[in-house]
Structure 1
Amino acid sequence: MLSEKTMQIVKSTAPVLKERGTEITSCFYERMFKAHPELKNIFNMSRQQTGGQPKALAYTVLQAAENIDRLEALLPVVKQIGHKHKSLQVKPEHYPIVGKHLLEAIEAVLGEAATPDILQAWAEAYEEIARVFIDIEKQMYEEAKKEGAWEDFKPFVVLEKRRESETITSFYLKPADGSDLPEFTPGQYVSVRIKIPGEQYFLTRQYSLSDAWNKDYYRISVKLEAEEGQPKGKVSSYLHEEIEAGSSLEVSAPAGDFSLSGQTDKPVYFISAGSGITPVMSMAKTLAAQESGREITFVHAAKSEKHQAFKEEAEKLVSGNPNNRLLFIYSQASEAPAEHAVKGRLNEDLLKTIVKDQDGEFYVCGPLSFMKSVIEGLQKLGVPTENIRYESFASSLEMQIAN
């Protein structure tokens, strides 16, 4: 237990962390990678370069400082980060390394303002925070083991590679040892680790499982990250251009807390954009296969019909119930869209025509700006916040920062 004095000192640092937090975390990552370059095998170095990861960590540190006297308030965020750590194989032995370099970064950035009392208080606070993470992640590892999941990364073979749209390609993955695959929760993701020729370290990325569970294969569907004026994504472009049926990949066990709720007969709304269709496709296919009779409204926004993935699958999954609805929204349609589609964007007026029951369950996934717009629109329509679940591929932490 932390002393009252320690908690008060840590809370008193919140204003400076709010102002200089990203500066501290950027310094932290620079120092840690210099001392432990092997950790570049775990971290997404692209997010280091864009500043997304330092910003997300700065937000987490600030939240820890503001809530140090009631860490239970952080449990939802801790569990979310814990799932990511589990998928990357972060272990207890990594936490002392992080703590050492975080304290050094605080001292380096704040200079004389980082008094011995502040550094000691943060050392004690970090130990307490790390213990919470380690305990939760230990429980996650143990639960996964009971459910038949594997530890670390496991060799898989690509059974099939299928182009779903102009930018999204699916990979059907089977364990190289031929073993059956454990069940996962619809909405979860796996980490894929590859060694690209010319790269010094492993590159690891998370991809949502895009199909309902079966024991024979997992399916991931990868968007080619190649926006105009931006460098191509190293991993997505390698998967699209170099990986074929018969290729080998290393895959972690499923993780993630963006999941389909059970034990209810409420109507369910799946609202996605771009590659955000992947986890909700897994959810929708699972729900449709259960034949529970729940009404499904499936809405997806894309640039055009060429960018629309899983068109036939989506049409099939809503066909089992006359009350189900399907809507594709194309922002750059060159001609009159086909059946189930409209031209435009998912704005507040269109959202009004979609939402028939504010007490339904809403699952939202896509780019950050899309997420904010949809969630704000749903709230204006009277949908309770607790009925909205979301997954942002930018980062759920960045979603909270933006809010």
Structure 2
Amino acid sequence: MSLDVTALRQQFPILKTQIDGKPLIYLDNAATTQKPQAVIDALVEFYTTCNANVHRGSHHLSDEATRRYEKARTTVARFINANVNEEVIWTSGTTESLNIVAHGLAQKLQSGDEVIITEMEHHANLVTWQQACIKSGASLVVIPISEDGELDLAKFKAALNNRTKLVAFPHVSNALGTINPIKEMTAMAKAAGALVSVDGAQGIAHGGVDVQAIGCDFYSFSGHKLFGPTGIGCLWGRKDVLEDWPIWQTGGEMIADVEYQQTTFGTLPFRLEAGTPNISGAIGMAAAIDWFMGLDQHAIQTHEKALLTRANELAADMQGLRLIGTAKNKVGIMSFLLDGAHPADIGFILDRQGIAIRTGDNCAQPLMKRLNIPGTARASFSIYNTIEEVEAFFRALKKAQTMLA
């Protein structure tokens, strides 16, 4: 079954935008995805019909807001195959989710312990563990990648030992597009007795995330990478791990009993959710998941692969273009350089032609240093992009190449 991309695009109002009189070609989906009308409608409907705080009021609006908010948690739990709803912790996004884990881990680590990460990390999945190790006296161990952007699994396995307390790695590299073998890596880490934290920011939008099948202890992701609102995300964690995980923030919502000299914290999931939550964001995220799961998942994956395949064909025919990240197993992320051109200049010229891409270090400075490059230009494709847009992107690239020669 093929994907009706024309009909799909009609559900995204922003795709009708004109940039300097040219139709928008949005190729910055790894940074954030656009939102279908179903998500926009869910946000508007909440604020127009039942805006109230949750878990607090004794009136109809609060009851209805609470019902929708907790229904959204159920939607997320079902989407990732959590065992119970209590394993889904609402956060502001992947970064906060990872910080919850790292903040707690810092209190458990001690000198001599080790945390393993990889050379391909986003800063959110590097600085968090770096700081946890600095605070605790533990060591941060970094696993190398190959020139094509694949993790060295032999060195990963060799680095695991009885001092390894946690292993953290991305499901998908935001800078390279590499899909890591996370089930295999998780099994290796668990065999060594380590906790496993997966940065799922780039993996969540490609379907098929099953935390039970992965076998990890934590999986973090954001709504805005999955056609949902910004400012909302989730930390999934195994219930037996989260039940005694150190408290991240304190305030309302997460309390069972308070006296002036001591506090008893509540049960999951609320013990890790302090303050008034992003209620509309959670509802919007659930709307995005419902919308996404209503699509033919096989057709989506086939379409995304076709977009990357066509981009690779055109890249192979273009003189002076160097791909950064050529792993065999990739999502639709194409990072590249043009001979003699700074990525920022490429981005500026493409923008004048209505094409939105990302330029810079992709929040992965150590990776750029490892590759000995200042940064990249990055085009990232999503389900509403077309083959025609990929071809227009390369025509614009050739124009930029001529202007910058």
Q: Give yes or no for TM over 0.5.
A: no
More helix by percentage: 1
> What's the TM-score once normalised by structure 2's chain length?
0.25
Q: Tell which has more relative contact order, 1 or 2 (C-alpha 8 A, sep 6+).
A: 2
- What's the TM-score, normalizing by structure 1? 0.26
